[in-house]
Amino acid sequence: MINLIPNPFEAEEQYRRFYHLDISNLDDTEIIDELHALRPLLWWKLPDSDWLRERVRRLEAELAKRRSGKRQEVRR
């Protein structure tokens, strides 16, 4: 099985992903794709799933923020 949780000591890209610093650089499609990949994994109660839960929360929050910003732009 692939290790879903990045190792922050292995590479800068993994460090940024581990601490969710990469989310602002993802486009909407990448966020949605990652959410679709991660949400089902939360049903399985995997060991160390705290990081996965936090990742999903952060991705959902970023997507909601972007969508609310787009709605406000349309109203103007």
Question: Six-digit token pair at 5?
Answer: 């949780």
**Chain mean pLDDT for the chain:** 89
Do 18 and 6 form a contact (C-beta atoms < 8 A)? yes
> 52: closest CA among 38, 64, 40?
38
Q: Give the whole-angstrom CA distance, residue 45 versus residue 35.
A: 16
Question: pLDDT grade, residue 50 (50/70/90)?
Answer: very high
pTM: 0.84
CA separation for the pair 68, 17 (Å, rounded)? 24
Res 3: pLDDT? 72
